[in-house]
A and B are shown apart, each in its own frame.
Chain A
Amino acid sequence: MKKILFTVGAALVLLGACKKSDLELFPYNQVETTQAFNSEGDVQLAVNGMYAGIRTSTSYYSGTWNILADVLADNLVLNNSGRLSMKAFYEWRYTGESTYNLFAHGYTITRRANAIIENISKLPKTAFTDNATGEALALRAMTYFDMSRVYSKTYTNASDADLTIPYTTTTDPSITPAKEPVKGFYDKVIADLVQAEALINATNGVGRLNKAAVAGLLSRVYFYKGDNANTITAANRALGTTPNLPNIATFPAIWTDATEAGVLFKVKNTSIDNLNALGVNYFQTVAAGVKSEYTIDYSFFQLFASNDVRKTAYTQTSAFNNVLQNHVIKYKGRVGQPAGVVDAKVIRTAEVLLNKAEAEYFTNPAAALADLILLKSNRYTGYVPEVLAGPALLAEIQLQRRLELAFEGDRFFDIKRRNAAINRDAVHGENADGTGKPPVFATMEAGDKRFLLPYPQAEINFNTNFTQNPGY
């Protein structure tokens, strides 16, 4: 009997050896979403997370954004000795299956902003929460604006029926939104930026959005909207009374991150982050020399005057496999640091000044000329102020825009904004002397369907409220 009791007892102890709490296990590097906004410290982490979202996206400022608008336009020519990266964009052969992926990446970033805006009211309103809200609003608006530039018509070219991406402001995962009219979308971008400018600190530093940067972004959006008066006033707020452009001696240091002068906002890329995409988008250095993915369009390169500081800061003529080529070295890297690792410049004073100058051309040409002279005197050695008026003035402002913002993610969108055609140098190839292979496709007519990049097919397949751009 004792043996039976012992046996049964032992069996019961062994068979029932576990506890319920053994199954309550939580991750070691994550916090539940419901617990992610309990304090100002939590919010600060989430704010940093938004910027980290830009840094880690391969399609945005720390990714291929610094070459996309140049590859799509007329600043570059494919180097057939390169890796033929982004060739489908260069030849305008994108499809819904192979389109630019800022769509998904952009919404990943704006979702981070939306979560902050939704949750900030849990905390008492303070200067800190205002600043965080301002950063979130501005970053969301900036990202949506850039996404819209990729996939949609710009404001001045859009009719009331033209649509763009949904301006999602919720973190609800069940939404399947439809596209929105371009015009209303721009109003939302502007409303967010205006609100942000009021809330955000002036002293966040250029590694974060700040009051001047938000004003600069506003000037960019008003400029695309064709609202000249507001472009000018926003630009004036961004630039202050004495715009720091900076001067010829300092200018090259912007590109090696040795100075922050002239930069309103940039996405930091530390040597620990070590992202070399910005540099590698353009070239890598191998035994045979600088090996570019794209070299500079022959005709465009001729527009860089020899006394233009941008010629040496942006370009380098050197041999690859004993053949001279014009390379883009704007992102070659910091001095003494790994190649191609630099901060991603999002908005600079020079762009704001050029937005302003072009707006002033229509309202106050004298001011436009003054701005042009201000810029040029800080770029051309021995520059003598000139007198320009009429279409020549406009042409010069637009040329300076092309030169100043070359290889910086502007050209394609600028052509699209002006509803112009893309005309590449159809005769010359990738080598410095113009030999090599000229572009297979040299021209895209104004208003061509391919100015609107296709939306990802995956979203259209899943979200039946969403439709593809015409012609894809």
Chain B
Amino acid sequence: MKKLLQSLFILLFVAGTAMAQNRTITGTVTGKDDGKPLPGVSVKIKGAKGATQTGSNGSFTIAVPTSAAELEFSYLGYVALSKGISGSVVNATLESDAKTLNDVVVVGYQAVRRRDLVGNVATIGNKEVANKPAMSLTQSLQGAATGVQVTGASGRPGSNAYIKIRGVGSINASSEPLIIMDGVQISSAAYNSINPNDIEEINVLKDAAASSIYGSRAANGVIVITTKLGKPGDPTIRYSYQYGKAEVQGLKNVQLMTSAEKLQYEYELDYTNPLITSAISTANGFPANSTITSISADQRQSVWNSLIASGAGDWRKYLLRKGNNKTHEISLSGADDKFKYYFSLNKNDNEGTEINSFFNKKGGRLNIEYQAKDWFKIGTNLGITQTFERQVRETFNTQNLYASLFLYNPYEAVKNTDGTYNTTMQGFSSIEGSLNNPVLYNRINSYGTLFGEAKFFKHLTLRSQIGSTYNTMKYESYLKPGSNLATLLGYNQKNDQGNQDFFYTFTNTASWNQTFAAKHNVNFLVGSEFSKDALYSYSLTGRNFPTASVETLENASTPTTASTSRSSYALESYFGSANYNFDRKYYLTFSARRDGSSRFGANNRFANFYAGGISWNIKNEKFFKADWVDALALKASAGTTGNNNIGNYDALGTYALNVKYNDLPAAAPARLPNPNLTWETNMQYDGSLTFGLLNNRLSGDFGYYKKETKDLLYAVNVSTTTGFATYQGNIGSMTNSGFEGSLTGTVVRNKDVNWSISGSFSTVDNKITKLYSDNVPNGYGRFVVGETLNTFFLVKWAGINPDNGKNQFYNIDGTTTEEYSSGQAQLLKGKSPIAKYFGTFGTDLRYKDFDFSARLYYTGGNYILNVMDQVAASDGENVNSNQFTEAFNYWKKPGDNVHYANPLDPTQNVTYDTDKYLEKGDYLSLRDVTVGYNLPVKYAKYIKSKGIRIFAQGTNLAMWTKFKGIPEVGESNRERTDFAGTFNLYGYPPLKAYTFGVDVRF
């Protein structure tokens, strides 16, 4: 039907114009790559009126005046071509142009040609995010663009990452950049449910000129994701498959004790564990009141040997595993002159590296664009993903599998002789817990965008779009009857929670594009936007299940809680931008936005944001004659953005009604009011230079940025004597500044070989510049004017006194003491959890049909309070749990100059939080190594394939660091909310992964 309409349209067009013409030209347009006909190619007569398009077989017919000499062929994604008219047949062959295709960037509510961009935008292409195994999409962004720092929250499958664009924009750990996918804001949690292969490209808007039009949500930067749409040509079917294995990264610089070592350590510390107590009891033939020291050395060794024999040994075998991950994906895409489409389905199963954890997802996407009239098009992007996740606990105790690895002694057995799980000296079997206390998350995330776009009077484009996300989550946590925890608590229980989150954005824009006198290019945009979010959630609990095999709450004989809640917020916005360039040499841009948010008090509900930028394309200047320079441009911009990333009702002082006493309703103060609560605003300055030299064999960019954030949103402290600790408020100002640059050099470039080396660096200098009230305490991080955010504030450790083996501490006045006092804590200038620099080194090598790439990622300048080391090298405090071998390095006699105190001195059997455990977080990681082979088309075509690619990839294969443990610390663990990177508290460990994949196109 469509083809018929299309032909009819062409016929009518031809009939309507034929009368004024006197020659008819026919021809066929084909693609150079595969020689196949191209439908929908625009054919114009140079210097005269009249145009047509090629039909589905690539052919066209056009009537031309006698004066016409040339035809112009143009087609998106191909290099435009002019051909002289000779005779009545003109055939054309168009060359595809990858660069041209990528040349349009959809940012700031409209499509802009990349070369005309004034803002600082880093683009991450599909290649860089697709086919990344075992890691979330967010983590694969790591190192992909300068200024964008991505720290994986943990190695949990499906976990998020912390994305920081140009430093710490806001203080709250949850602050994340605004993520816009196909015009709709999505959360970073939903972001991980997206299929990376559906992504056409990701644009990171780094400076104000690019991001300011997103206004109040853009203070932490903006990430704009565009999903794929079919490319002109035959429909392409693509199938890909990946299979991989992931394992936990090994500890660096420390090692857990073996059974023999631990028993020796306990013996030295005069500690008798319960297993030894029962081994040397009278029941085993020992005299009454035997102790580990009273028996003979041989007896002791034989007791130890029996423990070593019955113990688990290496607990990793039981708590961790090599997780499989498998991905299947199929897509169909294509386009003709009116209709573009992309359809995909995917399935991804990810086993966690901790036993009994997994993250599985299935999804699909349908993107369609239809040019209904020559002035009107409509389109829709629909995506839906279902994820199913089984989580294991991440507490700071032995309910956590990874913590158990460090706490269980190697001489303790996995199971008791009766086959039940051994609860060990820690009192809990995390293995049993992970089996019998399952925690399941079932989420459905759906994204839908529907738009209509109309062009009038050549220059005006009106666009109206409704975008929405509808996310549901179901959580089920079951303490099965008979499980260890249910026995401890005296009841079994199931808790079901869930929520529905509906968010929509209604966006309307009008833009005007016009070129005057061939050199003055002008673009104006105005628009409005309204967004609203409505969240509904429930929680249901019941107890007394008859048996573990039933798990729905209808089977619980004692229902205990049933509660629901709601929350909503809205944002209303007006915005506009103006762009002008003269002859593509001098560019000017200006944008403004006015936002109103329901989250702020009525007095401060609305705020304005604005930005301006200039750009000078030196290469396009006539006076610039250096042929060896292929590109040279300078950019500068300044502007504001804001942050409304706080709770929905934080300005209101309230009494909570969801309180009860003695099963009667009650009310309790929930929040202090802050009628002055206002936006956090950013003023950002940016300057950068882009260049390409020696036929683009050497290219790169360098830039400098400075972000001044004021009215930082944060919990403002009050005296606890008021009954509150904090209220939500604005606490001060901070700056982030830094340099960033990247350089790519092509060493060899010829038909068979292409070898390039690249590197990048980014720096972050974060400083607090103003605080409205002094010294906001925040655990071990302090806010001090002139210092980095969350600079550590701890008592300084002064080493072990060689004379008596006691820990020594510095007083604030510089004297030393053996008495720990929290009042002597001091600011450790220059030491904060914030990395000061990061970047990559990489190389790409292609030889004929083989390719190889490797990327190293480095980061450093940050400090981490190494709690895992503190627990495992504890001066005897934690002698009942396993320790690192370094704990042997304790004080034994006067004169010993060692790192650990005398554990036989009971006053030393306690570890205080001091800078003894504060370590540098610097590391260098071999993040990614890929080897691939593209089967030549001449072979692939035997199975009617357009291309086959086989690849193998390794992730995090090696790491170099001085940190004791693993320095890649994101969240402390999932059940805590510390400032990212402050502590390591047995969060799900980062991965090392190997993946094999095949990708076939038909």
Query: Which residues of A line the B interface, CB within 8 A?
Result: 3-4, 7, 10-11, 14-18, 20, 22-34, 36, 42, 45-49, 51-53, 55, 80-84, 88, 91, 93, 95-98, 103-104, 107-112, 114-115, 165-166, 168, 171-177, 207, 268, 270-274, 276, 284-288, 291, 321-323, 333, 337-341, 435, 440-441, 454, 456-463, 466, 468, 472
B490, CB-defined interface residue at 8 Å: yes
B727 contacts A30, CB within 8 Å? no
| Minimum CB–CB distance for A120 against chain B, Å | 14
* Chain A CB within 10 A, most for which of B426, B484, B656, B673: B656
Residue of B whose beta carbon sits closest to that of A274: B560
B657 contacts A285, CB within 8 Å? no
A173 contacts B667, CB within 8 Å? no
Known contacts A111-B669, A441-B906; 17 additional CB pairs below 8 A are A22-B532, A23-B605, A33-B669, A46-B667, A81-B274, A97-B913, A108-B723, A165-B721, A168-B723, A175-B721, A175-B722, A270-B663, A272-B663, A285-B488, A286-B427, A339-B489, A340-B490
How many chain B residues touch A (CB < 8 A): the figure is: 91
State the CA gap A168–B662 with chains docked (Å): 27
State the CA gap A36–B667 with chains docked (Å): 8
State the CA gap A333–B491 with chains docked (Å): 12
With A14-B464, A23-B596 in contact, do A28 and B566 touch (Cβ < 8 Å)? yes
The interface residues of chain A lying within 8 Å CB-to-CB of B427 are 82-83, 284, 286, 291
Partner of A276, one of B489, B656, B661: B489
B462 contacts A172, CB within 8 Å? no
Partner of A15, one of B277, B527, B727: B527
State the CA gap A291–B567 with chains docked (Å): 43
The interface residues of chain A lying within 8 Å CB-to-CB of B721 are 107, 165-166, 168, 175-177, 459, 463
The interface residues of chain B lying within 8 Å CB-to-CB of A288 are 423
Residue of B whose beta carbon sits closest to that of A431: B277
The interface residues of chain B lying within 8 Å CB-to-CB of A51 are 661-662, 666
Partner of A52, one of B491, B652, B659: B659
B727 contacts A173, CB within 8 Å? yes
Stretch with Cβ within 8 A of A (4 or more), from B97-105, B147-155, B568-576: B568-576
| Minimum CB–CB distance for A94 against chain B, Å | 9
The interface residues of chain A lying within 8 Å CB-to-CB of B423 are 286-288
- For the complex of A and B, the 6 pairs showing the least CB-CB separation, nearest first, are A111-B723, A339-B490, A48-B666, A14-B508, A96-B822, A45-B667
A-B contact pairs, 30 of them (CB 8 A): A15-B510, A15-B528, A25-B568, A31-B657, A31-B667, A33-B653, A45-B666, A48-B664, A48-B666, A49-B659, A49-B668, A81-B274, A95-B822, A97-B825, A107-B722, A110-B723, A112-B723, A168-B721, A168-B722, A173-B727, A174-B718, A176-B719, A207-B662, A268-B662, A272-B560, A274-B560, A286-B487, A287-B487, A456-B720, A462-B777
Interface residues of chain A: helix, strand, loop or mixed (majority): loop
* Chain A CB within 10 A, most for which of B655, B662, B721, B910: B721
A95 contacts B912, CB within 8 Å? yes
Partner of A27, one of B460, B462, B652, B719: B652
The interface residues of chain A lying within 8 Å CB-to-CB of B912 are 95
Residue of B whose beta carbon sits closest to that of A30: B654
B822 contacts A457, CB within 8 Å? yes
State the CA gap A254–B772 with chains docked (Å): 53
A95 contacts B660, CB within 8 Å? no
* Chain B CB within 10 A, most for which of A20, A33, A81: A33
B456 contacts A7, CB within 8 Å? yes
Question: B796-810: contact bitstring with A at CB < 8 Å (1 yes, 0 no)?
Answer: 000000000000000
B572 contacts A48, CB within 8 Å? no
B417, CB-defined interface residue at 8 Å: no
The interface residues of chain A lying within 8 Å CB-to-CB of B574 are 15
| Minimum CB–CB distance for A18 against chain B, Å | 4
Which residues between 470 and 489 of chain B lie within 8 Å of chain A, taking CB atoms?
484, 487-489
State the CA gap A272–B543 with chains docked (Å): 10
Residue of B whose beta carbon sits closest to that of A322: B278
A268 contacts B661, CB within 8 Å? yes
B528 contacts A17, CB within 8 Å? yes
The interface residues of chain B lying within 8 Å CB-to-CB of A32 are 652-655, 673
Partner of A18, one of B278, B528, B543, B659: B528
Residue of A whose beta carbon sits closest to that of B536: A28
State the CA gap A88–B526 with chains docked (Å): 64
B608, CB-defined interface residue at 8 Å: no
Residue of B whose beta carbon sits closest to that of A88: B910
Which residues between 660 and 685 of chain B lie within 8 Å of chain A, taking CB atoms?
660-673
Question: B517-528: contact bitstring with A at CB < 8 Å (1 yes, 0 no)?
Answer: 000000000111
B822 contacts A454, CB within 8 Å? yes
Partner of B490, one of A27, A31, A112, A333: A333
The interface residues of chain A lying within 8 Å CB-to-CB of B648 are 25, 27
The interface residues of chain A lying within 8 Å CB-to-CB of B933 are none
Which residues between 864 and 880 of chain B lie within 8 Å of chain A, taking CB atoms?
880
State the CA gap A109–B457 with chains docked (Å): 69
| Minimum CB–CB distance for B824 against chain A, Å | 10
| Minimum CB–CB distance for A4 against chain B, Å | 8
The interface residues of chain B lying within 8 Å CB-to-CB of A171 are 722-723
The interface residues of chain A lying within 8 Å CB-to-CB of B822 are 95-98, 454, 457, 472
Which residues between 687 and 740 of chain B lie within 8 Å of chain A, taking CB atoms?
717-725, 727
B649 contacts A30, CB within 8 Å? yes
B425, CB-defined interface residue at 8 Å: yes
State the CA gap A430–B487 with chains docked (Å): 24
| Minimum CB–CB distance for A322 against chain B, Å | 7
A29 contacts B490, CB within 8 Å? no
B508 contacts A17, CB within 8 Å? yes
B445, CB-defined interface residue at 8 Å: no
* Chain A CB within 10 A, most for which of B490, B661, B670, B910: B661
State the CA gap A335–B12 with chains docked (Å): 90
| Minimum CB–CB distance for B397 against chain A, Å | 8
B820, CB-defined interface residue at 8 Å: yes
B668 contacts A53, CB within 8 Å? yes
Residue of A whose beta carbon sits closest to that of B464: A14
| Minimum CB–CB distance for B838 against chain A, Å | 32
A95 contacts B821, CB within 8 Å? yes
A173 contacts B720, CB within 8 Å? no
Residue of B whose beta carbon sits closest to that of A323: B277
Partner of B668, one of A52, A114, A165: A52
Residue of B whose beta carbon sits closest to that of A19: B572
Residue of B whose beta carbon sits closest to that of A458: B777
The interface residues of chain A lying within 8 Å CB-to-CB of B654 are 27, 30-33
The interface residues of chain A lying within 8 Å CB-to-CB of B717 are 462
B775 contacts A270, CB within 8 Å? no
Residue of A whose beta carbon sits closest to that of B776: A462
The interface residues of chain B lying within 8 Å CB-to-CB of A271 are 560
Partner of A321, one of B278, B527, B720: B278
B67, CB-defined interface residue at 8 Å: no
Residue of A whose beta carbon sits closest to that of B566: A28
B910 contacts A91, CB within 8 Å? yes
B660 contacts A52, CB within 8 Å? yes
The interface residues of chain B lying within 8 Å CB-to-CB of A291 are 427
| Minimum CB–CB distance for A172 against chain B, Å | 7
State the CA gap A273–B727 with chains docked (Å): 28
The interface residues of chain B lying within 8 Å CB-to-CB of A286 are 423, 427, 484, 487-488
B909, CB-defined interface residue at 8 Å: yes
State the CA gap A391–B318 with chains docked (Å): 63
B656 contacts A30, CB within 8 Å? yes
B661 contacts A55, CB within 8 Å? yes
Partner of A93, one of B561, B910, B913: B910
With A45-B666, A287-B420 in contact, do A27 and B649 touch (Cβ < 8 Å)? yes
State the CA gap A168–B719 with chains docked (Å): 11
| Minimum CB–CB distance for B463 against chain A, Å | 9
| Minimum CB–CB distance for B510 against chain A, Å | 5
* Chain A CB within 10 A, most for which of B277, B673, B909: B277
| Minimum CB–CB distance for B287 against chain A, Å | 14
| Minimum CB–CB distance for A286 against chain B, Å | 6
A17 contacts B530, CB within 8 Å? yes
A22 contacts B661, CB within 8 Å? no
